[in-house]
Amino acid sequence: MLQGLPVSPGIAVGRAVIVRFGGLPAFRRAVAPDEFDEEERRLRRASRLAAEEFRRHSGEAAGDIGMELAAILEAHGLIASDETYLNAVFDRIQRDHVNAEWALAEVTRELGQRFETADSDAMRERAADIQDVAREIARHLSGGDSLLPVELPRGSILVADEISPVDASRLDPRRVRALALERGGPTSHATIIARSFGLPAVVGIEGLCEAISPETPIVVDGDRGTVEPAPSKERLRRSLIRVREQREKTRRLRARTTRAATTRDGVRIVVRANLELAEEIAALDRFHAEGVGLFRSEFLYLRAAPGSPGVEEQREVYESLLAAAAPHPVVIRTYDLGGEKGIGPARGENPALGMRGLRYCLAHPELFDAQLDALCLASRKGPLSILLPMVTSRFEIEEARNALEKSARRAGLSQAPPLGIMVEVPSAALLAERLAPATDFFSIGTNDLAQYALAVDRANPDVAALYRPLHPAILRMLKSVADAGRAHQRPVAVCGELASDPIGIAVLVGLGIREVSVTPVAIAAVKDSLSGIDSTRVQSLVEKALGAAEASEVEKLMRGRP
Ligand code: PEP
Ligand code: MG
């Protein structure tokens, strides 16, 4: 039994499909000895095509860009057809009975490690060269650009080292039953997507890809955080019973929570949905969401790459969201690019502290203006609000508002749609009272707020135990925003994962929050938790919790509520 972090609830039984996305992307398949020749043929063909491509580019570069690049590409071509390298890969196919993609990734990784620890810069550069070459061979092996085996078989469990948010968003939830990853954290974006798809997920198991045999049945338990690589027949039978029981429980809970949420003492709490993809629109109705509290629009951008989605393409998506949510409102967050979401940092940079969110948009006005134009045009069709991610200072809101007003004029609107800010950085939380006049509403992103306040990477399993959104320092920041909202009559919502935690939601109600948004599959459970909460009781508990020194004290205090 392998133990990891439980990050998305539920239990699943399925066949393991192993994929390495990090470094060199590859999936693992068991290969019988009578297939070795075929794998060698595929490898040699891919290496020939890659070498030809490098040589062709080298010839072109010599003509227009420069001799230096031409020489590098020429060298890449030589590596791609290097017999020692190819033989090492072929030996690996035979030794481990694995497919060419996997063997190529393994051999390349080992070579890369050897070069990376070398003393000379020239040798270290070779590590990057080999990666580039292997990537090109891998592309030809797969016959295209896709990293995943073309289509995952139905009933698969994806076992991977890590997965980027955009690759996670490309998974088909009808085919994949669960996710088990070596890396990732409780609120990393792949985890959030797993939850949106309702897929059980476990992360943070080192050596996972090696510990599991491809295509064998495994059990992933997203409640306990375990992965069972070789379950017995009896274990499989019991797990399947649990899967059925769970499905039934979820169905009953959903049937019980169709109406708007109120606390036990009758305080009305608005529960909206967080969506990442336009395909999730149907979930609004199915899970009885009161509109969309957060649409993570950057997935539109990332999935449209290369190039960005045009004004008309975006407008269509935003209008379809409004139509599906009517008569409820839709809050669309402008692109939160950067960070772990895909616009990669340079070597040595810290992506979480770099060109992320609003910073990126303000630095790329064509991109930002196109999105604002699409939002303004769509806003004619219904109650649409715009939300800015990663705000740290007031001047950023002012710059964004200027851009929005110009865009509203271009769209012929007499008034721009409401403009709100995400509070997900400590500076914005502590200064909420001074930011309030510049914003129309607040939406607190507890996922990042916890990351930045506690200096804990939300996607790193090594520090997951320190990732405590109920830390009293964060409670004080939440209070700062709630108070600022009340004092300036600015609505305050919470869209981070804390809202779907049973203790988290009690804390939020205690702080006076009356609107939250969560992943659609969590809506029923959140409404159910709310129905057990007494708002005056949690208010007095939160007052005490604000004086705590540790997250564990807060949890203990709040658990004591009747
Ligand atoms: C957050 O940071 O809490 C949030 C809701 O945004 P994201 O998870 O997309 O960073
Ligand atoms: Mg965030």
Instruction: Give me the phi and psi of 159, to 5 degrees please.
Output: -110, 120
3-state secondary structure of 388: strand
Residue nearest to atom 9 of ligand 1 (CA): 296
8-state DSSP, 231: -
Q: Do the Cβ atoms of 40 and 227 come closer than 8 Å?
A: no
Tell me how far the alpha carbon of residue 39 lies from the centroid of ligand 2, in angstroms: 44
**For residue 477, what are its two tokens?**
């920041």
pLDDT at 380: 98
> Which ligand 1 atom sits nearest the alpha carbon of residue 389?
6
**For residue 529, what are its two tokens?**
């938790």
> Which ligand 1 atom sits nearest the alpha carbon of residue 444?
3
User: CA angle, 247 as apex, 241 and 251 as ends, to 5°?
Assistant: 145
d(CA 308, CA 249): 42
Tell me the fold of 22-142. Enzyme I; Chain A, domain 2 (1.10.274)
Instruction: Give me the phi and psi of 281, to 5 degrees please.
Output: -50, -40
Q: Do the Cβ atoms of 338 and 394 come closer than 8 Å?
A: no
Tell me how far the alpha carbon of residue 496 lies from the centroid of ligand 1, in angstroms: 6
Q: What share of the chain is helix, strand, coil (3-state, %, to 5)?
A: 55, 15, 30
> Which ligand 1 atom sits nearest the alpha carbon of residue 274?
5
Q: Alpha helix (H) ranges present in 183-232?
A: 189-196, 208-211
Q: Which of 448, 497, 501, 515 to mutate to test the pocket of ligand 1 (most atoms within 8 A of CB)?
A: 448
The residue among 289, 300, 365 whose CA lies nearest residue 337 is: 300
| Of 57, 76, 140, 189, catalytic | 189
Phi-psi region of 497 (alpha: psi -120 to 50; beta: other; left: phi over 0): alpha
8-state DSSP, 513: -
3-state secondary structure of 227: strand
> Which ligand 1 atom sits nearest the alpha carbon of residue 424?
2
User: CA angle, 92 as apex, 89 and 95 as ends, to 5°?
Assistant: 160
d(CA 536, CA 58): 72
pLDDT at 293: 98
Residue nearest to atom 6 of ligand 1 (CA): 445
- Per-residue tens of pLDDT for the chain, all 562 residues: 999 999 999 999 999 999 887 767 788 888 999 999 999 999 999 999 989 888 887 776 665 456 766 777 788 888 889 999 999 999 999 999 999 999 999 999 888 888 777 776 666 667 777 887 888 898 888 775 555 555 788 999 999 998 877 778 888 889 999 999 999 898 888 888 899 889 999 999 999 999 999 889 999 999 999 999 999 999 999 999 999 999 999 899 988 889 999 999 999 999 999 999 888 899 999 999 999 999 999 999 887 766 789 999 999 999 999 999 999 999 999 999 987 666 655 556 788 999 999 999 999 999 999 999 999 999 999 999 999 999 999 999 999 999 999 999 999 999 999 999 999 999 999 999 999 999 999 999 999 999 999 999 998 999 999 999 999 999 999 999 999 999 999 999 999 999 999 999 999 999 999 999 999 999 999 999 999 999 999 999 999 999 999 999 999 999 985 3
Active site residue 488: no
Tell me how far the alpha carbon of residue 192 lies from the centroid of ligand 2, in angstroms: 11
**For residue 180, what are its two tokens?**
């088990």
Distance of alpha carbon 366 from the chain centroid: 25
Q: Which residues contact 538 (CB under 8 A, 6 or more apart)?
A: 506, 507, 509, 510, 558, 561
pLDDT at 140: 86
Is the domain spanning 253-533 CATH 3.40.50.2300? The answer is no
Other Cβ atoms less than 10 A from the Cβ of 359: the count is 17
User: CA angle, 296 as apex, 294 and 298 as ends, to 5°?
Assistant: 160
pLDDT at 39: 94
> Which ligand 1 atom sits nearest the alpha carbon of residue 451?
2
> Which ligand 1 atom sits nearest the alpha carbon of residue 189?
8
Q: Which ligand approaches the C-alpha of residue 333 most closely? A: 1
Tell me how far the alpha carbon of residue 476 lies from the centroid of ligand 2, in angstroms: 19
Residue nearest to atom 1 of ligand 1 (CA): 445
Q: Where are the domains of the chain?
A: 22-142, 253-533
pTM over 0.75: yes
Active site residue 140: no
pLDDT at 562: 39
Q: Which ligand approaches the C-alpha of residue 495 most closely? A: 1
Q: Which ligand approaches the C-alpha of residue 296 most closely? A: 1
Q: Residues with Cβ within 6 A of ligand 1?
A: 192, 294, 296, 336, 424, 445-448, 495-496
Tell me how far the alpha carbon of residue 390 lies from the centroid of ligand 2, in angstroms: 7
Q: Which ligand approaches the C-alpha of residue 195 most closely? A: 1
Q: Do the Cβ atoms of 93 and 36 come closer than 8 Å?
A: yes
Residue nearest to atom 3 of ligand 1 (CA): 445
| Of 209, 361, 376, 495, catalytic | 495
Tell me how far the alpha carbon of residue 54 lies from the centroid of ligand 2, in angstroms: 40
Tell me how far the alpha carbon of residue 6 lies from the centroid of ligand 2, in angstroms: 21
d(CA 251, CA 473): 37
Tell me how far the alpha carbon of residue 444 lies from the centroid of ligand 1, in angstroms: 9
